[in-house]
Amino acid sequence: MPRTTPLRWRDIADDLLRRIESGDLTPGDGSNSRRRLPPEKDLESHYSASRNTVRDALSYLQQQGYVVSEQGKGTFVLRRPDIVHVTLSAVDLGLGPGAGSGEWYNRDAHVPRDREVTVSPVKVEVQEGTRVIARYLQTNADAEFISRHQELFQDGRPLALQTSFYPLDFATGGASRLLYPRDIPEGAVAYLQETLGYSEVGFHDEIKARVPNEHEKRFFGLGESAADAVFEAVRTAYSPDGTAFRLTVTVWPADRTRLHYNDGQVPDDVLRAPGLGASKGAPGKPQRAADAESG
């Protein structure tokens, strides 16, 4: 029976979203089994709403990335990407430094072990620094830097983009492997400790959400909706004397990434599988936000 009280477009959008998330309106696995929303006429009748009100609701859901409208075919529910939980403070339980996984961000972050993470070959460039890079690394604005860039994939799908910056004089001063377009198996931080005496005793993270650039849109498969944002995590590593010696910028797609930090005593199963919650009575152990060991 049609409703007797007209609803606002946002009420309709919220109800449709509730039905989508409850499984009442869910996408299929193939193009022939996609879940189609009821026709606009049916929605108008069901919600006792005008055509413009229904269209405003559908437009909002499309902007948020939940549905897509196709001319002459209707409106279809989109398959939402699987959520990846990443722990940025992963420094214990073998989840971070010293894990022997090279220089990519697993040295500073942890993706659950049931996920296979692979990285692209390293792309190395020497470039003039920006004022932002110089500010983070405490150098002159006209200093030159080495950038080492990699693309990260999880189970074959784009996971993150990462670029690390180092002063060029690191390479001329003995750490020449920073200039080679190859991975550093023991990790760049361990290599800098061995060659130049830099040891990491702490780091500072700055995280912001922003609109992706064109390259990020293509890599992550993002569109133009409000949901198609990225997280940018800027990590500055410090040596015992307070010198900033590494700047790492990692970009994550916000629609499928949840970033976690741990501090204090946290159950082991939460450390190993963030986002799932702790098992009742699960034992915990202290988890520090940073560690003096570097990988």
Of 202, 205, 245, 249, which Cα lies nearest the Cα of 230? 249
More confident residue, 213 or 291: 213
| Residue 284 confidence (pLDDT) above 80 | no
Of 157, 162, 58, which Cα lies nearest the Cα of 107? 162
Task: Please answer whether residues 95 and 291 qualify as being in contact, where contact means their C-beta atoms are separated by less than 8 angstroms.
Answer: no
Segment 104-154, tens digit of pLDDT: 444 556 666 666 788 899 999 999 888 899 999 999 888 999 999 999 998
Calculate what percentage of the chain has a pLDDT beyond 70.
77
Give the pTM.
0.69
The whole-number pLDDT of residue 196 equals 96
The whole-number pLDDT of residue 105 equals 44
Domain annotation for the chain: domains and CATH numbers: 9-77 (1.10.10.10), 84-287 (3.40.1410.10)
Segment 51-85, tens digit of pLDDT: 999 999 999 998 877 888 888 888 888 766 778 88
Q: Mean pLDDT throughout 208-219?
A: 94
The whole-number pLDDT of residue 101 equals 40
Between CA 12 and CA 247 the distance in angstroms is: 46
Q: What is residue 36's DSSP assignment?
A: B
The whole-number pLDDT of residue 112 equals 63
Exposure string over 196-230, b if 16+ CB within 10 A, otherwise e: eebbbbebebeeeeeebeeebbebbebeeeeebeb
The whole-number pLDDT of residue 94 equals 38
The whole-number pLDDT of residue 292 equals 28
* CA 27 to the chain's CA centroid: 24
